[in-house]
Amino acid sequence: MAPPRTRPPRRRSAALAVGVAAWLCLGGVALAGPRLTFEHRAFDFGEVLQGKIVEHRFTFSNTGDAELVIRDATTPCGCTVVLPDKKQLAPGETGHLDVTYDSAARSGDVERIITVTSNDPVEPELELTVTAHVDASQHAGFKAGETLFGEKCGKCHAVPAKDDAGKPRTGQDLYDAVCWFCHGKARQGKTAPPLGVFAPSIDPELTRIIAEGQAGTEMPAFGKAHKGPLTPEQIASLVALLHTPPPPPPPPEAEPEPIPAMDDPNAPFFK
């Protein structure tokens, strides 16, 4: 009689290692290193009267087995303030991040992205989102430029129209400085409509909208003749830019690797 067949030790060890890893994951054992985990990553303020300041608290915790360090929490728009209460968290410790949104000079649907960077080895940079619908019906005659180009918001929406040496920016450089907040980095649209490739035949209309704005909306009058930050030459450079294809959209964020699952976690690792 032939002797019974046995599995090579290497294959048996590999099967055991995979099974143990899956069991540990399914058993809720913390992954090695710090892990930044938020209870939720998006919040909708709902209907907000224009001019009202609203707040929300995002709660997070360190679900890893090493100290978590929050390196930064930022948003590109000055109308949104982000304040984390802790920068260092021991395993199992909880903290919170307060978001304050000022709806002054805003109208319609708005979205703000908060980027949180940390020493989490799996997701070192993650995004939180706050949204709202700003009701401007009680301020139908408001002028967005009065706030967006004022002392508080001007550092994001007006001052960057010139470089550090005071030279007026033009074309793509100007768009990247003051336009992308609302229209998206790849002109794909955010809180304002997308901007594709426009025919030269509508240049006068594009020039008018940029220079004079659109009453009752978040689009302010950027032209200097209307107390905005842009010269006619800068506006002409933006119109010329809109004759060209937009840049490729930013790549999607990489999803964390899924945790391997077993059909039956109570089954033996091998038979």
Rounded distance between C-alpha atoms, residue 116 and residue 75, angstroms:
9
Q: Identify how many contiguous H helices and E strands the chain contains and give both numbers.
A: 7, 9
DSSP alpha helices (H): ranges in 135-219? 144-148, 154-157, 171-174, 180-183, 203-212
Local confidence pLDDT in tens for the 271 residues of the chain: 444 444 444 444 334 444 444 444 444 444 579 999 999 999 999 999 887 889 999 999 999 999 999 999 988 776 788 889 999 999 999 999 999 998 876 778 888 899 999 999 999 999 999 999 988 776 544 555 556 676 667 777 788 899 999 999 999 999 999 898 788 889 988 767 889 899 999 999 999 999 998 876 678 889 999 888 999 999 999 999 999 999 887 666 555 555 444 455 454 433 3
The class that CATH gives domain 144-241 is mainly alpha
CATH 1.10.760.10 residue ranges of the chain are 144-241
CATH 2.60.40.10 residue ranges in the chain? 36-139
- CA proximity to 228, closest of 123, 149, 142: 149
Q: Is the pTM of this model over 0.85?
A: no
- Distances from the Cα of 69 to the Cα of 64, 83, 122, angstroms: 12, 15, 14
DSSP structure class, residue 130: E
Of 52, 59, 145, whose CA–CA distance to 101 is shortest? 52
CATH of span 36-139 = 2.60.40.10
